[in-house]
Amino acid sequence: MSTFVVKGWCPDAWRPMMAGDGLLVRVRPPLGRLTRAQVLGLCDAATRLGSGRIDVTSRANLQIRGVREGSWRTLIDTLLDFGLIDPDPTREARANILVAPEWQAGDDTHRITEELRARLSELPDLPGKVGFAIDAGVAPQLQDAPADFRIERAAPGRLILRADGRKLGTPLSPSTEVDRLIGLARWFVESGGTVSGRMARHDAPLPDWAAATTPPAAFVPHVQPGPHPLGVALSLPFGRVSATALTRLVEAEIAIEAIRLAPRHIMICEAGVQLVSASDSADFITDPSSPLLRTDACVGAPACPQGSVETRALARRLAPHITGRLHVSGCAKGCARAAPADVTLTGREGRYDLAFDARPGAPPYRTGLDAAQILAQFGAT
């Protein structure tokens, strides 16, 4: 198990990360899409070989949690059988590609992503968290999702290559998009970007051939939960679903052909019809006004050894009583949300600190609260 990554790296299936609840195995399905058979196979493996808990990250990756060390290789073989990971660990590490989730077969997003996946071996070795966004639909929609090199729509029929942190991008000629993307990744390494770690922190002037002149088109809103042209979009509370609940949904709805992963913990069920079982529930949110969509909560204690308080059950009870954004964090690290929230609860030595318009760990308004005191404070008893 000596190949398991340490903190600060970006884990993937071949390099899982040890978390408080066992190994965390990240899966990046090609094109962010799993067929019905792949979903059921993944859920079965997550139940047999892990804790049965599955996360969909803010960057639209899947994470199988609680995998036992002795079961990891069996899980890898299962993921290979289902075509969900690359047999080459180096290629898998480079396939950090976020795809605009509403792509259509044969469109620019689909075409460019397929070409990039076929040419992963041409990429240089990049820092672990560096990734790509292929956002070439009618308008870009991955604005908040982290990515270092972005191919985006600039105007009808025109695409740009944009380095993260720059407002403008380089116009692309048809069929040269991946050449340019690989070229910019090589320039990043050759110009010392590996030291900076991320494109947004690398302030070297772009090469002459990549002169940034053109802004992206206006971004369109993220996919919202509820009816969707492909079927239905479901939001996962806190980005988590149990393999049991996902299996139950797919088995109950034979119209589901595939599931696409989207940023902000969204799954789009490709079905073409209204789904009977996919209604608002503890497992799936379909109501775009649900207070849980305004709520962030990390896994907290006991799953995370750094957390000293329970987080998600309290967040569920509190959310309907909070105006604005709620963040319940197991400790001051604030993994679930980097930005301030209107109401922030931070675990500290088994109690909660309460702050307003703050990040976890900010100077609190009240300290040392228990859950009952917090619920009473917001009239949630």
Catalog residues that contact ligand SF4 under the rule CB under 6 A: 298-300, 304, 306-307, 329-331, 333-335
Nearer to ligand SF4, 137 or 334 (CB): 334
* Nearest-angstrom CA–CA distance, 345 and 356: 9
Nearest residue to ligand SF4, using CB? 330
Give min distance, CB of 203 to ligand SF4, in A. Answer: 29
Minimum distance, C-beta of residue 146 to ligand SF4, in the bound complex (Å): 17
Choice between 129 and 248, CB closer to ligand SF4: 129
> Minimum distance from CB of 300 to ligand SF4 (Å)?
5
Please return the burial class of 330, using the count of CB atoms within 10 Å of its CB with bins 0-12, 13-18 and 19+: buried
Cβ neighbours of 254 (radius 10 Å): 9
> Nearest-CA neighbor of 45 among 236, 246, 238, 234?
246
Going through 130-221 in order, the beta strands assigned E by DSSP cover: 132-135, 149-155, 158-163, 170-172
Nearest approach in angstroms of CB 349 to ligand SF4 is: 13
β-pair type (240-242, 53-56): antiparallel
State the helix-helix crossing angle for 243-252 and 36-49, rounded to 10 degrees. Answer: 150
Query: Please, which residue, 21 or 107, has the CB nearer to ligand SF4?
Result: 21
* Rounded Cα–Cα distance for residues 138 and 7 (Å): 38
Cβ atoms of residues 221 and 288 within 8 Å: no
Q: Smallest distance, Å, CB 96 to ligand SF4?
A: 21
Instruction: Return d(Cα 57, Cα 111) in angstroms, integer.
Output: 24
Identify which of residues 178 and 299 has a Cβ nearer to ligand SF4 in the complex: 299
Nearer to ligand SF4, 36 or 240 (CB): 240
Q: How far is the CB of 19 from ligand SF4 (least distance, A)?
A: 9
Cis bond before residue 229 (omega within 30° of 0): no
Element (H, E) at 225: none
The minimum distance between CB 309 and ligand SF4, in angstroms, equals 8
Residue nearer to ligand SF4 on the CB measure, 300 or 364: 300
Pick the closer one to ligand SF4 by CB: 54 or 154: 54
Exposed e or buried b per residue across 10-28, where buried means at least 16 C-beta atoms within 10 angstroms of its C-beta: bbbbbbbbbbebbbbbbbb
For residues 335 and 362, which CB has a smaller minimum distance to ligand SF4 in the complex? 335
Dist. CA 19–CA 2, nearest whole Å: 15
Residue 334: CB minimum distance to ligand SF4, A: 5
CA distance 221 to 228: 13
